[in-house]
């Protein structure tokens, strides 16, 4: 094996990214109750442990509040949500720039192409 590929870690990261994107797109509102661990696990076809790990990590990030006996809720802290939004934008830009550089596109040309695209 030795290739470093871990399917369960990949699934965890994809689900985490998908949930963060839903938050940033406004599909989940500040203070809104998130699906239960069991509901989310059933929807995603993964174990409830995977979803529990995601919710706990998001709690450590300040994005989710886990209330014992009540469930998990998206924070009402708009500063934390904005920080998440900025982080996701930077990650997307980083991936895009990396791909462009791998194609041999210069930083100047990347900026030029983005400006052209935005004017369309």
pLDDT tens per residue across span 49-60: 999 999 999 999
Which residue's entry shows tokens 């014992």?
68
The model carries a pTM of 0.74
Residue 72: both structure tokens together: 């998990």
Using only the alpha carbons of the chain, give its radius of gyration: 18
User: Of 79, 52, 77, 78, which is closest to residue 66 (Cα–Cα)?
Assistant: 52
E strands within 15-114?
64-67, 71-74
Exposed / middle / buried, residue 66 (Cβ in 10 Å: 0-12, 13-18, 19+)? middle
Residue 9: both structure tokens together: 């870690």
Model confidence pLDDT, tens digit, residues 78-92: 999 999 889 888 988
CA dihedral 78, 59, 25, 12 (to 10 degrees): 160
Which residue's entry shows tokens 């194609």?
103
User: Of 111, 116, 87, which is closest to residue 101 (Cα–Cα)?
Assistant: 111
The pLDDT of residue 74 is 95
Interval 105-120 mean pLDDT: 94
Model confidence pLDDT, tens digit, residues 70-79: 999 999 999 9
CATH architecture of 7-119: Orthogonal Bundle (1.10)
């Amino acid at each position: 094996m030795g290739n470093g590929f871990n399917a369960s870690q990949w699934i965890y990261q994809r689900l985490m990214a998908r949930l963060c994107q839903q938050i940033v797109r406004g599909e989940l509102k500040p203070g809104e109750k998130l699906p239960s661990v069991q509901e989310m696990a059933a929807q995603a076809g993964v174990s409830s442990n995977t979803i529990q790990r995601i919710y706990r990590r998001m709690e450590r990030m300040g994005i989710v509040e886990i209330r014992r006996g009540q469930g998990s809720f998206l924070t009402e802290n708009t500063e934390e949500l904005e920080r998440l939004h900025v982080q996701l934008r930077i990650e997307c830009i980083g991936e895009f720039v990396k791909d462009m550089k791998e194609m041999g596109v210069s930083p100047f040309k990347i900026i030029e192409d983005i400006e052209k695209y935005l004017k369309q």
